[in-house]
Amino acid sequence: MKTFKADNIRNVVLAGHGGSGKTALAEAMLFKCGLTDRMGNTAEGNTICDFDAEEIKRKISINASIANMTWNDIKINVIDAPGQFDFVGGLHEGIRAAESVIITVNGKDGVCPGTIKSYQLAAKSNKACMMAVTCMEVENSDFYRVFTQMKTVFGPSVCPIVVPYDKNGPVEAYINLLTMKAYKYDKKGVPTEVEMPASENRIAGLRAAMAEAVAETNEEFMDKFFMEEEFTQEELVKGIHDGVASGTITPVVCCANDTLSGVDMLLDAVTKMLPSPNERKLETIDGNPADYDENKPFKGIVFKTVADPFVGKISYVKVVQGKLTAKSVPVSTSGAELRFGKLVTVCGKKQEEAAEVWAGDLCAVTKMEANTGDTICDPADTKALAGMEFPRACYFKIGRASCRERV
């Protein structure tokens, strides 16, 4: 199995309101990257990420699940987080392991409470943020109405990257504002370049807004903007990437999950604009950043734990330093040995054994006596990483009495 260095990894969590298309988007991304032969459907209960019996029965995500794929030689680890508030712990698990958050917004429903909560948690956790307006194939979806809502709620940082041309109702083409090219997609999601819409003032205005956002990322670009010089595509990509990394730009793309329209441009945006682990470092318990260096002693954090009925205990690990190998014997920060069964990479419920996993990547180990939030490490470096923070429960139990806490 191929290993990836931190610079060539993107860890992203799909967040958003329930029903905004997170699982469907993960399914579309996997299919577009060639990981699946056919796209699953939430209604049919055959998606990669919703594989638990209760998830299939209720047709919603209950647990955070992981899928990995490769696009343009960049490994993308996608964490599909639940959108229902009852299962918000899964979102916190994903946020801890990822550097970036893609917030899905249904093109018909618009900005919802779950959208706002996801954005606020991403900002509080110092994560890069991107927004994807999904379900553009659904009747009455309106990207520009939703985009106006985003600007109103989230402010001027919202920056369009991929927008639809839908002057006569349904989406006729998807326009990449970086390249100023328009694409039409067939039923299999294969794009064909088409002529740019003539005299479309709205598109020109969005392009100008994107250029203005890029100009704010450094003085050189600002000078060029005031000189009324056009930015090159490379300059636009760099400016947006730097703006996303600093939190001053939140790029927005649109896509149609079921028809795969625009999904390729979303994947391009993930690989080119979202930060690698090296650009969003985890902190140790004393507040110092931990380098994603595969040559340092191993250090990782358990960000999720499940009890599998067939395998037993599975601990999901983010490797922060060094390499975790199948023969490793990590220790806890107290120095106690933590032996495990197998080292695997995960794609939904599918597990593939791995010889080693390098810093910046996600994996899972079986039958290890560690808990969620624990730091596991090489005996040579037992300094703990910052732990995990979960929201306070609304319901809890004290002794034999159950009560509800008012918040």
Tens digits of residue pLDDT in 363-384: 999 999 999 999 999 999 888 9
CB within 8 Å of 35: residues ≥ 6 apart: 48, 67, 69, 347
DSSP conformation class of 8: G
CB distance 11 to 98 below 8 Å: yes
Cα–Cα distance, 350 to 291 (Å, whole number): 30
* Mean pLDDT, range 153-157, rounded to an integer: 92
Determine the pLDDT at residue 396: 67
Strands 395-398 and 299-308: unpaired
Provide the 3-class DSSP secondary structure of residue 169. Answer: coil
**Per-residue pLDDT at 78:** 98
Q: Report residue 77 as tokens.
A: 């680890």
**Which CA distances in Å does 73 have to 26, 33, 297, 315?**
18, 11, 26, 27
**E strands, 153-297, in order:** 158-160, 162-165, 173-176, 181-185, 191-194, 250-254
Segment 190-194 shows an average pLDDT of 95
Per-residue pLDDT for 109 more than 50?
Answer: yes
> What is the average pLDDT across 117-144?
94
Residue 22 has pLDDT above 60, yes or no: yes
Say if residue 407's pLDDT is above 60.
no
The band of 404, judged by pLDDT with boundaries at 50, 70 and 90, is very low
Mean pLDDT taken over the chain: 91
Distance of alpha carbon 386 from alpha carbon 301, whole angstroms? 9
pTM of the shown model = 0.93
pLDDT of 259 higher than 60: yes
**Rounded average pLDDT over 74-83:** 97
Lowest mean pLDDT among 17-21, 277-281, 286-290, 293-297: 286-290
pLDDT bucket at 282, cuts 50 / 70 / 90: confident
Q: Going by DSSP bridges, is the β-strand pair 173-176/181-185 parallel, antiparallel, or unpaired?
A: antiparallel
Q: Residue 190: which pLDDT band, with cuts at 50, 70 and 90?
A: very high
Please, which pLDDT band fits residue 228 given cuts at 50, 70 and 90?
Answer: confident
- pLDDT band with cut points at 50, 70 and 90 for residue 175: very high
